[in-house]
């Protein structure tokens, strides 16, 4: 079974802090021009570090897509964090991170650009110190 679209929380004891993980797989051929991937869970609230590994697999078309980290306090309106990955290669991996996360909800905006096929996998990690 695929681990796609599952959000897990790991509460560690001792000197370690809680960590959350979310994985989302997007089929570029069937997505619209923009796809918002948002974690509707308050666990990311007060996170000290957030990261998202962007994995591009077999992308085809004009390689002009992007993935931007975003945040929200209300879960409806999202603002960009200013951290972006370009989908400029058929196969690549890029990890985005932000220590300036100040929202309650975490997400990413995937923009298709000229892409016509392939897969984008997003691997989110939320760490509390």
Burial (CB count within 10 angstroms: exposed 0-12, middle 13-18, buried 19+), residue 22: buried
What are the pLDDT tens digits along the chain (129 aa)? Answer: 333 455 676 665 555 677 888 999 999 999 999 999 998 887 777 788 899 999 999 999 999 999 999 999 998 999 999 999 999 999 999 999 988 888 888 999 999 999 999 999 999 988 876
Q: Looking at the domain assignment, is residue 77 inside a domain?
A: yes
Q: Looking at the domain assignment, is residue 86 inside a domain?
A: yes
Q: Looking at the domain assignment, is residue 70 inside a domain?
A: yes
CATH of the domain at 62: 2.60.120.380
Is residue 38 classed as helix, strand or coil in its secondary structure? strand
Alpha-carbon gap, residue 103 to 61, rounded angstroms: 34
Q: Looking at the domain assignment, is residue 98 inside a domain?
A: yes
Q: Looking at the domain assignment, is residue 22 inside a domain?
A: yes
Decide: 115 and 66 in contact? Cβ < 8 Å.
no
Q: Which domain holds residue 22?
A: 6-127
Q: Looking at the domain assignment, is residue 1 inside a domain?
A: no
Total domains present in the chain: 1
Work out the number of other CB atoms within 10 angstroms of the CB of residue 68.
19
């Amino acid at each position: 079974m695929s681990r796609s679209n599952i959000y897990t929380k790991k509460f560690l004891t001792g000197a370690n802090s809680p960590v959350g993980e979310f994985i989302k797989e997007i089929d570029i051929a069937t997505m619209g021009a923009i796809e918002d991937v948002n974690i509707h869970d308050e666990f990311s609230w007060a996170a000290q570090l957030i990261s998202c590994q962007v994995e591009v697999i077999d992308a085809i078309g004009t390689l002009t897509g992007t993935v931007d980290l975003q945040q929200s306090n209300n879960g409806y309106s999202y603002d960009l964090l200013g951290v972006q990955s370009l989908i400029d290669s058929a196969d690549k991996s890029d990890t985005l991170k932000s220590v300036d996360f100040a929202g309650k909800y975490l997400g990413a905006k995937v923009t298709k650009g000229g892409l016509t096929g392939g897969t984008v996998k997003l691997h989110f990690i939320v760490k509390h110190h």
